[in-house]
């Protein structure tokens, strides 16, 4: 008997930003699989098996979830934010393509979620209101040259840039290198935002400029937004500024 695999985006952190469909799936699953910090966000249910793993081998985690579903279990594989954005949906399909051909017959459903990028943007205005891109800064899986070339192309396109996975203990220099590169391409006054744990009690948001941005203010869970040359700042009395990227664009 074949089971079911749901790949679920839990949203940015707040319970009321998690889609009801995700909550229903989590209530129905026989097994919850994921990085420990994400599994912890799922309310425990009697009889439900929880498989929490380290932040390491994602392909092994995907294969584990697929194996459970192939054995007849109803598995929820959980990611933060949206499951399709630098998260487990791509990893599962990589495992399907390279794995047991029976896995192609599995009932797999991806439940989308509110991404960290959109939750962060909403807290500070509408920085992603015009053309934008999302880049993972991790060079575990791609050479730094590719990252640098993509940042350069993104600036030439006039995109606002959302940087995922800006740095980690094993990758301490990448965000600083990205800022150095971007400073050579964009005005120093370009808005930069560090957003961590958005929508949770530990939320931390810093609005600064490219000139002043200090990479040490970010960690692995920080989303970094870089404005475009068109991104505007509205200062307000007794409140943080609004940032927004206008819909209109001159030639």
Site for a copy of itself in 161-180 (CB under 8 A): none
- What's the maximum distance between 2 C-alpha atoms anywhere in the chain? 63
List binders of a copy of itself among 31-70 (CB under 8 A): 58
Sole binder of a copy of itself in the list 48, 90, 209, 221 (CB under 8 A)? 90
Centroid of chain to Cα 243 = 20
| Neighbouring residues of 85: CB distance < 8 A, sequence distance ≥ 6 | 115, 117, 134, 164
From 45-53, 65-73, 107-115, 176-184, span contacting a copy of itself (CB under 8 A) = 107-115
- 34 neighbors 78 (Cβ within 8 angstroms): yes
In this structure, the number of other CB atoms found within 10 A of the CB of residue 11 comes to: 25
Q: Is 242 among the residues that bind a copy of itself (CB under 8 A)?
A: yes
Q: Could you tell me which stretch among 48-56, 208-216, 218-226, 237-245 binds a copy of itself (CB under 8 A)?
A: 237-245
196 binds a copy of itself (CB under 8 A): no
Residues 135-164 touching a copy of itself, rule: CB under 8 A, are 135-136, 141-143, 145-146, 149-150, 153-154, 156-159
DSSP letter string, 129-190: SSSEEEEE---SSS-HHHHHHHHHHHHHHT-EEEEES--BTTB-SHHHHHHHHHHTTS-TT-
Is 105 among the residues that bind a copy of itself (CB under 8 A)? yes
**Rounded least distance, CB 107 to a copy of itself, Å:** 9
Compare residues 3 and 113 and give the one whose CB is closer to a copy of itself: 113
């Amino acid at each position: 008997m074949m089971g079911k695999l749901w790949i679920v985006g839990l949203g940015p952190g707040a319970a009321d930003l998690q889609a009801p469909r995700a909550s229903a799936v989590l209530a129905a699953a026989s097994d919850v699989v994921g990085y420990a910090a994400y599994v912890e966000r799922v309310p425990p249910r009697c009889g439900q098996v929880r498989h929490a793993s380290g932040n390491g081998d994602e392909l092994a985690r995907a294969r584990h979830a697929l194996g459970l579903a192939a054995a007849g279990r109803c598995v929820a594989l959980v990611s933060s934010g949206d499951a399709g954005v630098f998260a487990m949906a791509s990893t599962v399909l990589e495992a399907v393509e390279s794995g047991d051909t029976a896995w192609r017959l599995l009932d797999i459903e991806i439940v989308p979620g509110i991404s960290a990028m959109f939750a962060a943007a909403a807290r500070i205005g509408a920085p992603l209101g015009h053309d934008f891109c999302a880049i993972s800064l991790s060079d575990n899986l791609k050479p730094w040259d590719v990252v640098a070339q993509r940042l350069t192309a993104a600036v030439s396109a006039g995109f606002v840039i959302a940087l995922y996975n800006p740095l980690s203990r094993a990758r301490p220099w990448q965000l600083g290198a990205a800022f150095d590169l971007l400073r050579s391409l964009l005005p120093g006054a370009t808005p930069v935002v560090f957003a961590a744990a958005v929508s949770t009690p530990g939320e931390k948001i810093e609005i600064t400029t490219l000139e002043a941005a200090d990479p040490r203010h970010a960690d692995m869970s920080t989303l970094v937004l870089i404005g475009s040359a068109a991104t505007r700042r509205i200062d307000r009395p007794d409140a943080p500024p609004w940032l927004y990227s206008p819909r209109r664009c001159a030639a």
